Amino acid sequence: MEALTITHSPRRVTDLIDAKRGGCDVRLTIRFEIIPAEFHHRTNPFQAYIFLACYTGTIDGKGFEFRKCYARGCPNNLCTHVSQAVKIANRYLQRDYHALDLGGIDVAKPLFSLDAMVIKFDALKKEGPPQLSLPELISFAKSGKVITVEVSLELIPAVEHFSGVKNAQTFLSGIFRALAENEIYQCHRCFACFPTEKEDEEREQAIKVANARLTLVYDEFQSSGIICQPEFFG
């Protein structure tokens, strides 16, 4: 029953690949949205841009839709700076494209881009720890650097603003603070989200998706020699 549920209601790229490998006919289209949002982060609310990919298509003719957050960018050190966020989002996106190719799923491969209205935030940049994607951090470890990572997870409520409509979402977010010899790096990652008004119905499934993604990260940490005490959403 679990396999049937995943096949007909995919929430992750991995679910699509599993369905394809299981013999299903998978048709996929990806579209992008870069949405401004207000994050209600404890006592420090902030505005940011969310880099989202909306996955839509069919599995054996049955429609599906889910979205994945690839990065969050803002003009201060409360999250990844917006000019770095687009690069990090595209690195994660290209990894997913590679996985889809290996899984036999054909899809167009556009990338995120920023217009001049977003790039202007470069002038507001504040200093903070250098931002990396998790794959870059893992690559550092494989090159021989001794890396220790501290993980901080939290659910952050936000209000997205898109086409004049306000959409309340809760994001399952993680901060990975890495000490690599004498350098400190920071990685932000969104692992799932759900409509805030549907918390009772959607929270549990979002936590399952987020923890499944976290498990893959920790597996890569272990194989590359990164020292980390795994944390999960509960």
Phi, psi of 100 (to 5 degrees): -65, -40
pLDDT of res. 176: 96
How does residue 8 score in pLDDT terms, banded at 50, 70 and 90? Answer: low
pLDDT band at 80 (very low <50, low <70, confident <90, very high): confident
Q: What is the pLDDT of residue 230?
A: 97
| 85 band by pLDDT with thresholds 50, 70 and 90 | confident
Per-residue pLDDT of 155-171, as tens digits, reads 999 999 877 788 999 99
From the CB of residue 185, how many other CB atoms can be counted at a distance below 10 Å? Answer: 18
**Cα–Cα distance measured from residue 87 to residue 85, given in angstroms and rounded to the nearest whole number:** 5
Percent of the chain residues past pLDDT 70, beyond the cut: 86
Which CA distances in Å does 87 have to 83, 116, 192, 230? 7, 15, 20, 26
State which amino acid sits at residue 171. Answer: F
Q: What pLDDT, in 10s, does the model give residues 89-117? A: 999 999 999 999 999 999 999 998 876 44
- Please give the structure tokens belonging to residue 152: 């901080």
Task: Tell me the residue ranges of DSSP E strands in the chain.
Answer: 26-39, 46-59, 62-73, 147-162, 165-180, 183-195, 227-228
Query: For residue 39, what pLDDT is reported?
Result: 87
Higher per-residue pLDDT: 91 or 47: 91
Mean pLDDT of all residues in the chain? 86
Q: Is the pLDDT of residue 62 over 50?
A: yes
Would you kindly state where each structural domain of the chain is located, as residue ranges?
1-127, 129-234
Give the residue with greater pLDDT, 86 vs 64: 64
What are the pLDDT digits (tens) for 181-231? Answer: 888 988 989 999 999 999 999 999 999 999 999 999 999 999 999 999 999
CA distances from 209 to 32, 50, 117, 129, 202 (A): 20, 19, 33, 28, 11
